[in-house]
Amino acid sequence: MAIALSKSRNLMLCASSLTLMATLFTAQQAAAHGYMNSPPSRAYACQQGLNIDCGAAQYEPQTVGEAPKGFPEFGPADGKIASGGHASFAALDAQSANRWHLTEIKDHTIDFSWFYTAAHKSTRWQYFITKGGWNPNLPISRDSFELTPFCQVEGGGGVPIDGAAGGTGPAKDKHSCSIPTDRSGHHIILGVWTVDDTAASFYDVVDVNITAQSADPDGWKNVGSISQTQALQPGDSVKARAFTGSSESAEYSFGVTIEKPEEGQPANWSYKLAETVNAANKPLVRAGVRNENGDIEPIKGANTLYVKAESGVTRYEMQTVMVPDPGAYLHLHDVAPEYVLVKGKGTVGFTVMTNKNVTLEATVFNATHKQVGYTKQTVSATTSPVSIAVTSAPGEHSLKLIATSQDGRENFQDLKSINLTGEGGAQEYDFVFPEGIAGYKAGTLVLQPKNDKVYECQPFPNSGYCIQYNPNANGFEPGVGASWNMAWTEK
């Protein structure tokens, strides 16, 4: 006898299946990577500087959204669709009406394009859009979307780039789709790339403002964005520089100076600058975001710069000038004139004193300027010990210190001469990881200072993973990353 399941029972079964699939997926997660680059996904917009406070997603847009295939029955859980359920990318799950940069969509016919850092054979691509009347202040869930894709492109198990499976590059084909004509204003498009030979799909959310009533509404053209890149302090200034070809236009350039601490918050200074543009009585220039009626209004968030053709303006560039903090300092202490090596290994230790929160990079170079030790750490406004593991031969060395304040306002540098004594070692390698990482290729030998072991970069196509490195979330770091053995072989 057939049993009819209620809708609530179906949803309970779906939730249980999601949990089971997520568990299985974690155990067999593969390195299939890619992201939507046009229009930019939320994570890729972070890497471009259009979004801020993105966490690790800024460095790894290609990994964001990797989750079990089979949406909407499976895939990332409600409330975690933007991150794919990965705690490392949870910042992307924050959702409000003005949290993220909106890409303006001027035509209901649109081409979607992807970029692949590990192009697996592909089953299909599907595109979903939020419902009419959806609430942009609620967490993104299945209830936010029309659960029938408005566009689907079959992959047929083929490789999506001009090259072999596992390679890197842009998509060889764009996906021409038609957005439902009854959608306008703020929406989210969910692109789902389903991999053919793993259990994974990639879920990329794209934040858009659909103004597709005409190809160029009211004659306004989008020529730039007031991007919320960082917090500012009183005395700092930000300017939207207008260009007509290669020349800057003083008439259509606008700037503001931060006068109060609260004005320095990114959303607030973006709003202040957009208001300044609109209050300048220049009828050929506007700043803001189009509402559902097509009017351009400033918001406390990312604002778009619009011009009419008669202005001659072709683009805007943002310029930020930050005033230095005259009271800021950083000093090195306890740098010894001599450090002793034992079988070619040793430790260079010292302390730093600062009144700023800084990111500190300390590197030890030998006499030929080859890096033999490196550390990077965050130092609070206090006195902190710093220790660098080195692998080298006895002789003259130098200690290079670079420290950058978290807002980028201060940059401290120092160089000290030190001497390493004792005995050398016999280990052979090309680099101390992550020194010279951009040049890693098949056969490159690196010393991992965290465990003093040497690793060899694997042959193509796995060699492409050797150059993927982010200090905050690096699965391919030799010897220590969760997936290091996909890229490296221990010697």
Residue 24 included in any domain = no
Question: Is 3 inside a domain boundary?
Answer: no
Cα 216 to Cα 297: distance, rounded to the nearest angstrom: 17
Q: Across-strand partners of 201?
A: 67, 194
Do 232 and 316 share a structural domain? Answer: yes
* CATH (domain of 379): 2.60.40.2550
Question: What predicted TM-score, i.e. pTM, was given to this entire model?
Answer: 0.45
Q: Residue 127 belongs to a domain with what CATH number?
A: 2.70.50.50
By residue range, what is the domain housing residue 134? 31-210
In DSSP terms, 175 is beta-bridged to 112
Asked if the structure places residue 39 within a domain, the reply is yes
Residue 377 shares a structural domain with residue 234:
no
Phi, psi of 304 (to 5 degrees): -100, 145
> Which class for 238: exposed (0-12), middle (13-18), buried (19 or more C-beta within 10 A)?
buried
| Contacts of residue 225, Cβ cutoff 8 Å, sequence gap at least 6 | 50, 101, 302, 303, 304, 305, 316, 318
For residue 173, is it within any domain?
yes
Domain limit, last residue, from 210, 226, 244: 210
Q: Are residues 257 and 344 in the same domain?
A: no
Query: Are 189 and 59 found together in one domain?
Result: yes
| CATH number of 258's domain | 3.30.70.2150
- Tens digits of residue pLDDT in 315-372: 898 898 888 877 888 888 999 989 999 988 899 999 999 988 888 999 999 988 888 8
176 and 75 within one domain:
yes
**For position 426, what pLDDT does the model report?**
65
> What is the distance between the alpha carbons of residues 452 and 390, in angstroms, rounded to a whole number?
10
Q: Does residue 201 sit in the same domain as residue 61?
A: yes
* Same domain, residue pair 180 and 48: yes
Q: Examine the domain organization and report whether 377 and 458 are in the same domain.
A: no
The 3-class SS string of the chain reads CCCCCCHHHHHHHHHHHHHHHHHHHHHHCCCCEEEEEECECHHHHHHCCCCCCCHHHHCCCCCCCEEECCCCCCCCCCCCCCCCCCHHHHHHHCCCCCCCCCEEECCCEEEEEEEEEECCCEEEEEEEEECCCCCCCCCCCHHHECCCCCEEEEEEEECCCCCCCCCCEECCCCEEEECCCCCCEEEEEEEEEEECCCCEEEEEEEEEEECCCCCCHHHCEEEEEECCCCCCCCCCEEEEEEEECCEEEEEEEEEEECCCHHHHCHHHHHHHHHHHHHCCCCCCEEEEEECCCCCEECCCCCEEEEECHHHCCCEEEEEEECCCCCCCCEEEECCCCEEEEECCEEEEEEEEEECCCEEEEEEEECCCCCEEEEEEEEECCCEEEEEEEEECCCEEEEEEEEEEECCCCCEEEEEEEEEEEECCCCCCCCEECCCCHHHCCCCCEEEECCCCEEEEECCCCHHHHHHCCCCCCCCCCCCCCCCHHHCEEEC
How far apart CA 132 and CA 48 sit, in angstroms, is: 29
Q: State residue 14 phi and psi, 5-degree precision.
A: -60, -45
Tracing tokens 């200074």 back to the chain, one arrives at: 269
Q: Quick check: is 297 in a domain?
A: yes
| End residue of a domain, out of 422, 456, 482 | 422
Average confidence (pLDDT) per 10 residues, the chain, 491 residues: 37 42 39 82 94 90 90 94 93 94 90 91 94 92 94 90 87 90 91 88 94 67 81 91 88 95 92 96 92 85 90 90 84 91 91 89 89 89 91 91 82 91 78 87 89 89 84 82 90 84
Looking at the structure, do residues 241 and 314 belong to the same domain, yes or no?
A: yes
**103 neighbors 208 (Cβ within 8 angstroms):** yes
Domain assignment of residue 13, yes or no? no
Is the domain of 78 the same as that of 96?
Answer: yes
Q: Do 349 and 230 share a structural domain? A: no
Q: Which residues pair with 386 in a beta bridge?
A: 350
pLDDT digits 0-9 by tens, 406-459 = 777 778 889 999 999 998 776 678 888 988 888 899 999 998 888 878 899 999
pLDDT at 260: 92
Domain membership of residue 277 (yes or no) is yes
pLDDT number for residue 224: 85
**CA 480 to CA 280: how far, in whole Å?**
56
Q: Is the dihedral of CA 194, 195, 196, 200 positive or negative?
A: negative
Determine the pLDDT at residue 28: 37
Q: Which of 159, 186, 210 is the last residue of a domain?
A: 210
Work out how many domains the chain is built from and give that number.
Answer: 4
User: Does one domain contain both 173 and 194?
Assistant: yes
Length of the chain: 491
Find all residues with CB under 8 Å of 444, minimum gap 6, and list them: 430, 431, 456, 457, 466
Domain annotation covers residue 347: yes
